[in-house]
Amino acid sequence: MLLFLLCLIGGYLLGSFPTGYVTSKILKDIDIRKFGSGNIGFTNVLRVTGTIPALITLAGDIGKGVASVYMGSFFSPFISTDPYLVKGLSGLTSIVGHNWSLFLKFKGGKGVATSAGVFLLLTPLPFLFSLLTMGAVVGFTRYVSLGSIIAAISLPFFIWIHSGNQLITYLLLSVLTAGIIIIKHRSNLIRLFSGKERKLGQRVKIKKE
C-alpha cells in the first residue's frame, strides 16, 4: 500500500512540473501566465512565444503522462493491487498535477497533452482514433479547444468499442479524464459560444513591462 501511495505521489509530482512556464521563462524570459489566455499549455505557448517553445512544451507535457504510467507499470508487480489500476491512477495523478501544479500554487494547464501521454500507453489504439478525431475537428474549425473537448469525449467511446468490459478501469478513467478536461475548458466554451475564441495560428503580441 505504501508503494502504491508513492506511485500516486510520484505521478502528481511528475505532472506538476510546469513545462510551458519553465520553457517560456528560459527561452523568452516571460511568465506565460500573463499573456494570451494565461494557460501554460501548448496552444497558448504557441500563440505567445512561437513554434519551438510550444513543441518543447508539448513534448514535455506528453512525456509527463508517459513517465507516470511507466512508473506505475514498473512498480505494479510489487503492489498487491490490480496492475491496470496502479498504472491508470498513476497516470491520473499526473493529469491532476498538471492541472493543479504544486509549483504554481495549485494552478496549471488543462491536461490535454498530459492525458494524451497517459492514454498513449494505456489504450494506444483508442487514443489514436481520438487523436484523429481531434485532428479532423481542428483541421475543419481551426479551434484547438473544440478539438480537445471532442477528442476527450470520444475517447471513452473508442475504449468501450475496442476493449469492451476487459478494461473497465481504463474506461472509467477516460470518463473521469474527459470530465476534468471539459471543466478546465469552461472559459473556452464561453468564448466559443460567443464567437471570441482564438483560432489556431493566431498570435498574441508580447508587451513586457
The owner of cell 488543462 is 110
**pLDDT value at residue 207:** 62
DSSP state of 107: B
Residue-level pLDDT at 203: 73
* The pLDDT of residue 81: 87
8 sits in which H/E element: helix 2-16
Q: Yes or no: say if 74 and 63 are a contact pair by the CB < 8 Å rule.
A: no
Cβ-contact 153, 179 below 8 angstroms: no
Whole-number pLDDT of residue 167: 79
Contact indicator for 33, 49 with CB cutoff of 8 Å? no
Confidence (pLDDT) at 164: 67
Q: What is the pLDDT along the chain (209 residues), one digit of tens a residue?
A: 889 999 999 999 999 999 999 999 999 999 999 998 899 999 999 999 999 999 999 999 999 999 999 999 999 999 888 899 999 999 999 999 999 999 999 999 999 999 999 999 999 999 999 999 999 999 999 999 999 999 999 999 999 998 766 678 999 999 999 999 999 999 999 999 999 898 887 676 666 55
* pLDDT (0 to 100) of residue 166: 60
What's the pLDDT at 80?
Answer: 86
pTM of the model: 0.93
Question: pLDDT at position 62, please?
Answer: 98
